[in-house]
């Protein structure tokens, strides 16, 4: 392939951390050949975990996260919300986005099952993938002795999606300590099996300020369709927020809203510590969530209710604010 004058050849190094002291190795190569090559380093969760132990490459690289395929990433034309009208205006209809979304709903966004597009391929892939991460990668990294119990905890998590996670309940079920459950969940996060979303408390009176929600990157592990849909939306929003942070577009965070009366909105995105917009995920309910209205009356930010149905597009006024009700595929494919 022809290169423009001044371009550097690209060297791709994959999974090198399994074999060598990759940080010092790369530091030596970079310091010696930075003017002659560009490097793209890819790897599993081990790469992320090792990076946090101490960084010999400080100041020498940019760090980006790879997610499973998402609608917003596949169809993105740019990075970030350059046109904030997507938060307040009815999105355009996209048949190809809807078709892609329906495939993901059945087989996840992980490349191998997604590209095959069949439930059979997904079931074969997911069985080996999760067992390999827990029984090979995690066990080797941490010398876990109770690997069967750790795997049991992981399988129990699929029944907890969409609700605040109480560590003590699972500690009693598995007959292990609260501290062990907490540390294992952290390990699952480090190896990109799950991610946590914490409740937002600023400006919300009587808010719930402790228990997180836990979601899977492989959301097809969740059998309940309403909860799987919520998990899919969580992955889409998490990917967007993480990418915006990676590109230095601001300081974005993903939260959920819940008060002690158990009134809840599924997701809140903040920008530079200020509420930016909120999202409610409903499998088929097109009537506006009263909790969405209530929290919008407090925060006065755009609100979107996403539905797992085709051709849903409504715009509703709530005093000075706006609530969108839209098909998830059509709205999220605009979320770059």
Residue 23's pLDDT is: 65
Q: pLDDT digit string (tens) for 93-104? A: 899 999 999 999
CA distance 172 to 125: 31
pLDDT value at 6 more than 80:
no
Residue 179: how many other CB atoms lie within 10 Å:
10
Alpha helices in 197-276 (DSSP H): 225-246
Average pLDDT of span 224-247: 96
Q: What is the mean pLDDT of residues 196-216?
A: 82
Give me the pLDDT at residue 5, please.
43
pLDDT at 177: 94
User: In the block, which residue shows the tokens 């998590």?
Assistant: 157
Q: Is the pTM of this model over 0.95?
A: no
pLDDT above 70 coverage of the chain, percent: 85
- Structure-token pair, residue 209: 């300020």
Contact 330, 94 (CB under 8 A): yes
> Looking at per-residue confidence, does 203 or 142 come out higher?
142
Residue 214 dihedral angles phi and psi, to the nearest 5° = -120, 130
Measured distance CA(176)–CA(128) in Å, rounded: 26
- Confidence at 80, pLDDT banded by 50, 70, 90: confident
Q: Which is more confidently placed, 169 or 207?
A: 169
E strands present in 68-137: none
Residue 1 has pLDDT above 60, yes or no: no
Cβ partners under 8 Å of residue 74, min gap 6: 100, 333
């Amino acid at each position: 392939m022809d290169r423009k004058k001044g371009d550097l050849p690209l060297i791709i190094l994959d999974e090198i951390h399994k074999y060598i002291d990759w940080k010092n190795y790369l530091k030596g190569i970079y310091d010696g050949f930075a003017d002659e090559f560009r490097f793209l380093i890819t790897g599993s969760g081990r790469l992320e975990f090792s990076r946090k132990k101490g960084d010999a490459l400080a100041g020498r690289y940019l760090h980006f996260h790879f997610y499973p395929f998402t609608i917003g990433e596949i169809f993105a034309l740019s990075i970030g919300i350059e046109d904030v009208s997507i938060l307040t205006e009815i999105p355009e209809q996209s048949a190809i986005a809807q078709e892609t979304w329906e495939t993901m709903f059945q087989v996840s966004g992980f490349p191998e099952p997604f590209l095959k597009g069949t439930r059979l391929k997904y079931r074969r892939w997911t069985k080996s993938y999760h067992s390999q991460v827990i029984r090979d990668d995690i066990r080797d990294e941490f010398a876990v002795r109770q690997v069967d119990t750790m795997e049991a905890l992981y399988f129990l998590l699929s029944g907890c999606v969409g609700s605040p996670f109480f560590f003590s309940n699972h500690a009693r079920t598995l007959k292990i300590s609260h501290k062990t459950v907490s540390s294992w969940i952290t390990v699952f996060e480090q190896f990109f099996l799950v991610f946590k979303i914490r409740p937002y408390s600023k400006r919300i009176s009587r808010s719930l300020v402790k228990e997180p929600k836990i979601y899977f990157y492989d959301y097809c592990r969740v059998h309940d369709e309403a909860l799987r849909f919520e998990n899919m939306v969580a992955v889409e929003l998490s990917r967007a927020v993480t990418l915006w942070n990676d590109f230095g577009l601001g300081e974005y965070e993903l939260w959920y809203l819940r008060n002690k009366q158990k009134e809840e909105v599924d997701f809140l995105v903040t920008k530079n510590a200020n509420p930016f917009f909120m999202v409610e995920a409903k499998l088929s309910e097109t009537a506006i969530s009263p909790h969405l209205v209530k929290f919008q009356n407090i925060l006065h930010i755009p609100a979107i209710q996403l539905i797992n149905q085709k051709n849903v597009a409504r715009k509703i006024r709530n005093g000075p604010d706006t609530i969108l009700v839209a098909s998830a595929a059509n709205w999220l494919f605009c979320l770059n």
